[in-house]
């Protein structure tokens, strides 16, 4: 193979990318963990802000409150959490859809114990409203953080 041929440069570029992948690749990632929790629903005001609040308790539990939902009586909401190291994706999904009655404003609340006691990076998505937010939260006793949901 001639040093001035195109094949030589293509091979050299391939080797360079392989070396960069080996040097900067991350191999110490923990496997993904998935949790599904049912949210408790309660009445809310029509003017409630569309937001998600995280509150740390002294027992390691984190309370997650989602305001600005509109559901029909009998509907349920599940929170699906996927955790990889300090990155957490939370998705609010409809559980039971009754398809009868008029939608009323509610708030969903769930207490979870699976969030690590450290700074975590959160992506929260609501399939019910099409809204989402991202941010970080330090899971320490007494910590509270509110995120505004956006479309």
Please state the domain extents for the chain: 33-148
Chain segment 112-150, per-residue pLDDT in tens: 999 988 999 999 999 999 999 999 999 999 999 999 999
Q: Give the angle 31-129-51 at the CA atoms, nearest 5°.
A: 80
Q: What is d(CA 105, CA 119) in angstroms, rounded to the nearest whole number?
A: 32
pTM of the complete model: 0.79
Contact of 54 with 62, CB cutoff 8 Å: yes
Q: What is the mean pLDDT of residues 101-116?
A: 92
Q: Give the model's pLDDT for residue 26.
A: 67
């Amino acid at each position: 193979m001639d040093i001035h041929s195109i094949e030589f440069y293509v091979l050299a570029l391939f080797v360079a990318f392989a070396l960069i992948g080996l040097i900067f690749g991350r191999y110490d990632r923990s496997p993904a963990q998935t949790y599904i929790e049912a949210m408790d629903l309660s009445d809310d005001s029509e003017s409630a802000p569309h937001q998600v609040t995280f509150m740390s308790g002294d027992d390691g539990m984190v309370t997650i409150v989602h305001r600005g939902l509109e559901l029909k009586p009998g509907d349920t909401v599940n929170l699906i959490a996927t955790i990889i190291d300090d990155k957490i994706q939370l998705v609010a999904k409809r559980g039971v859809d009754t398809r009868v009655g008029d939608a009323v404003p509610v708030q969903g609340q769930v207490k979870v114990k699976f969030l690590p006691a450290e700074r975590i990076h959160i992506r929260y998505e609501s399939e019910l409203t099409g809204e989402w937010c991202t941010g970080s939260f330090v899971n320490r006793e007494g910590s509270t953080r509110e995120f505004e949901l956006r479309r």
